[in-house]
Chain A
Amino acid sequence: MAVEVVMPKLGMAMKEGTVSLWSKAVGDPVEKGEAIASINSEKIEMDIESPAEGTILNIAVQEGQGVPPGTVICHIGDPNEKIKIDEPVAVETQLKIDEQEKPKTKESPTLPMGDRLMITPVARKMAQAANLDIERIQGTGPGGRITKEDVQKVMEKRDSIPVNTEERIVPPKPAIESQQQIPVKGMRNIIAKRMKESLQSSAQLTLTLKVDVTDLVILQKQATETLQKYESTKLTITDFVAKAVVLSLKEHPKMNSAYIEDNIILYESIHLGLAVALENGLVVPVIRNAENCTLRQLSNKGKELARCARDGQLPIEDMQGSTFTISNLGAYGVEHFTPILNTPETGILGIGTAYDTPLYIGEELERRTILPLSLTFDHRVLDGAPAAAFLQTLKRYLEEPITVIL
């Protein structure tokens, strides 16, 4: 009997998931556990693995189509068997209601199955190289197939539109050889939208500060040494910064806030977001109620979340509701940078790379370790001085590191 593969529920609040990519087509054999599709919800992209060995019998949800969790997206089974689509499943009933409520899903641009766009191989390559939307080319070949000639006509029409005099004198060389087109979809699409939205919807700016972490490094090494007698984990500078951020936020509640629809929401709890780079994007897992965590707890939770995120196993709850975010590019040797707000949050702290440098302590030059910090904040919520004051508090904690663990 055919096995149904359903849109998983990636979080309690998830209303809809989108199939961003089918890595298998109807008729393809699949192994149990093999990735068959990528799906994404509001924030996350993950692979769906085949629950069984068999053949993809049908694909019920096309790429780009959003459906509620529980919706059957494909069937896997024996190629000769017939799929019983009308099997009474509670989930499907729910889907039907959903469809009645939102008839707009029917207007999705996705073509129904079997309604292929016909284009010759040469025409397809030419259109791709010229960056033409093949769906808008009129085909005149056999059965309305788009031919090379059809693509050439569109290209000629496009080329004949004079842009300006200069360009007509020196026609731009098409950089066809060096071009590669990557359609923006899935996680990349989500990141693109959110980052642009962040820059367009807030008044963000970045302050930078250098912190002398010479003593912190000594403490971090001592603490790690001691800790490793009992467990295999170690404390990092980032862990200390995270704890110091939590302590500083307590003193500067305006920085632990969000700007939502012309209201500034101050949060009592501190949910700390930690940006984690993935192979083709990034996610921000959240340590909830970080104010109640010890340094060790913060460290362990952060590492656990990062590991889950890299494995693509992060539940969506763990990626929502942060009130302040930390981003770290220190591993790449970056010093200061301008992090982009994880909107609607008011602040994001960028941690740079710690480096040793001679520094005057009184009259003496000493070898000191400097940690560059970059704070991006929303000027709509608070002004430069209070934001700087927050950084100053953070600096104080980190330069007197014993206060972090007290």
Chain B
Amino acid sequence: MNRIVIIGGGPAGYVAAITASQQDKEVILVVDGPLGGTCLNEGCMPTKSLLKSADTYDLVKNAGQMGIHLSLNSIEVDWDTVQERKREVISKLVNGIRYLMGKNKIKVIQGRASILSSNRLRIENGNENEVIDASKIIISTGSEPIPLPFAPFDGEWIIHSGHAMSLPAIPDSLLIVGGGVIGCEFASIYSRMGTKVTVIEMGEKLLPGEDEDITSILHEELKNQGVTVHTSTAVKNINATSKTVYLENGDGKLEEMHADYVLVSIGRRPRVNGVGLEENDIDFSRLGISVDDRMQTSNPTIYACGDVIGGIQLAHVAFHEGRVAALNACGQFAQVNYRAIPRCIYTSPEIASVGLTEKEARQKYGEIKVGEFAFSANGKAALSNKPVGKVKVLVNPQYNEILGFSIVGQHATELIGQGTIMLHAEITADMLEDLVAAHPTLSESIHEALLNVVGQAVHS
């Protein structure tokens, strides 16, 4: 028998399925919920749809700056249509994946899978039970939002990101617990839709993983959009009956807060329960299933990939891991490569980075060279009235190795592709001194930042 069974239809699972099918294997994909997983149904894609609506609202409201005058009274958000559009786009994308499954002759079974032995699984769907055999099993069950220990999600008032993207109406107020990527993105969506947003972050700053000089620009813009940010502040308790949130700030001062909704975005945890990990000698912890660099678990016929293995919880990492897991499960040799993983935050302005942050680079290499270029000196940014932000590049002077890029500003998530290529190909900074960047583009700023490393930026 040469059958690969994959549990979970998110980015890791469906890419693993297609990859295995391309290796001429019989592939069964067991899906508990819609195809596309969190990314497509409750994560990346729907939030970006909402952000696009928020951006458009912004653009229309500010059209006057470009000489397009609209009566401000006539501009309003039709939330139902915003939601409808989101559902349509998602539905189209889910259908796209369904089409790919069919095209690749992948059998999709709805149900919850649990592993019975190294080569056998049970699939439950309602009252129906099915036992199937597999030569190799790939676990890609993904992750789920972590609740506050003292306040489980109720979906009514205490909500997670999945709820937050399908609220019945634009709330008057929203309290977001956790100033990470998800928290900041929702702050950016709802504040621009007119909601009074408050962000509570335990750490000293928003987006703890990124450099201060980058996140402070976003912080400032969020404030301009009406967001109140409390850093070094913890949620001590929540009373769902009185809809009160009790906070304690860094000085130990207590405060009460009220909001229409409390969005808890303090992270996501791997879905390791109910799969049959313990029973089948698969090592795991609360951080996820342990795998080697070929995505193999401690049970040699079982592989795991995506959010369920912890690590970097990003859809594009899951794509990569899914492919590696499938290739190895099909008897080939492949290793994961986390050399150049871009990190994107879809706020306004966007933040995108790849490689090391400045803080990490200084810890690792000591003396490094930093090149920066502000969008305020970029013509294209001025033309679109969005001169906020900058490009920062980090270079190790020893080999002129490019260590990392951080970009904050409009289209940062598109621009980071250039940095990703540079890091992936391990290009050195000196090779790019006479690069010719198109003008006028935002991309020029990347070249200028690189030139700035050697003190030769032209337009700064």
Interface residues of chain A, those whose CB is within 8 Å of chain B, are 120-123, 125-126, 129, 140-141, 147-149, 176
> Among the listed A125, A129, A147, A149, which residue makes an inter-chain contact with B428, where contact means beta carbons less than 8 Å apart?
A125
> Given contacts A121-B425, A122-B401, A122-B402, could you give 17 more A-B pairs where the C-beta distance is less than 8 Å?
A120-B426, A121-B428, A121-B431, A122-B399, A122-B426, A122-B428, A125-B399, A125-B400, A125-B428, A126-B399, A129-B399, A140-B335, A141-B337, A147-B339, A148-B426, A149-B339, A176-B398
User: Is there contact, CB below 8 Å, between A129 and B398?
Assistant: yes
Query: Is B427 part of the contact surface with A, judged by Cβ < 8 Å?
Result: yes
User: CA separation between A140 and B399, bound complex, in Å?
Assistant: 20
Binding site secondary structure of chain B: loop
Q: How far is the CB of A131 from chain B (nearest CB, A)?
A: 14
> Which label, helix, strand, loop or mixed, suits the secondary structure of the A interface?
helix
Residues of A within 8 A of B337 (CB): 141
Q: Are B426 and A121 in contact (CB under 8 A)?
A: yes
> Would you list 20 pairs from A and B whose C-beta atoms are within 8 A, ordered by A residue?
A120-B425, A120-B426, A121-B426, A121-B428, A121-B431, A122-B401, A122-B427, A122-B428, A125-B399, A125-B400, A126-B399, A129-B398, A140-B335, A141-B337, A147-B339, A147-B426, A148-B339, A148-B401, A148-B426, A149-B339
Distance from A307 Cβ to chain B, minimum over Cβ atoms (Å): 41
What's the Cα separation between A125 and B401 when bound, in Å? 9
Chain B residues touching A, range: 10 to 19
Least distance between B335 CB and chain A CB atoms (Å): 7
Residue of A nearest to B400 (CB): A125
On chain A, the residues within 8 Å of B427 by CB distance are 120-122
Which 7 residue pairs are nearest across A and B when measured between Cβ atoms?
A120-B426, A122-B426, A125-B399, A121-B428, A122-B401, A121-B427, A148-B426
Alpha-carbon gap, A129 to B398, bound state (A): 9
Least Cβ–Cβ distance between B401 and chain A, in angstroms: 5
Give A122's nearest chain B residue, CB to CB.
B426
Cβ contacts under 8 Å, A149 to chain B: 339
* Distance between Cα atoms of A125 and B402 in the complex (Å): 12
Specify which of A122, A141, A148, A176 lies most central, judged by the most chain B CB atoms within 10 Å of its CB.
A122
Least distance between A72 CB and chain B CB atoms (Å): 34
Note all chain A residues with C-beta closer than 8 A to B398. 129, 176
What is the bound-complex CA distance between A184 and B82, given in angstroms?
71
Within B425-453, the residues touching A (CB, 8 Å) are 425-428, 431
Q: Which residues of A contact B402 (CB under 8 A)?
A: 122
Give A177 to B399 CA distance when docked, in angstroms. Answer: 11
In the complex, which residue of chain A has the Cβ closest to the Cβ of B402?
A122
With the chains together, A125 CA to B426 CA distance in Å? 11
Interface string of B386-416 (1 = CB under 8 A from A): 0000000000001111100000000000000
Residues of B within 8 A of A121 (CB): 425-428, 431
A126, B401: Cα distance in complex, Å: 9
User: Nearest chain-A residue to B431 (Cβ)?
Assistant: A121
Question: Residue on B with the closest CB to A126?
Answer: B399
Alpha-carbon gap, A140 to B339, bound state (A):
13
A120 to B431, CA, bound (A): 12
Provide the bound-state CA to CA distance between A107 and B389, in Å: 59
B130 CB, min distance to chain A CBs, angstroms: 41
**Distance to closest chain A CB from B140 (angstroms):** 24
CA distance A141 to B399 in the complex (A): 19
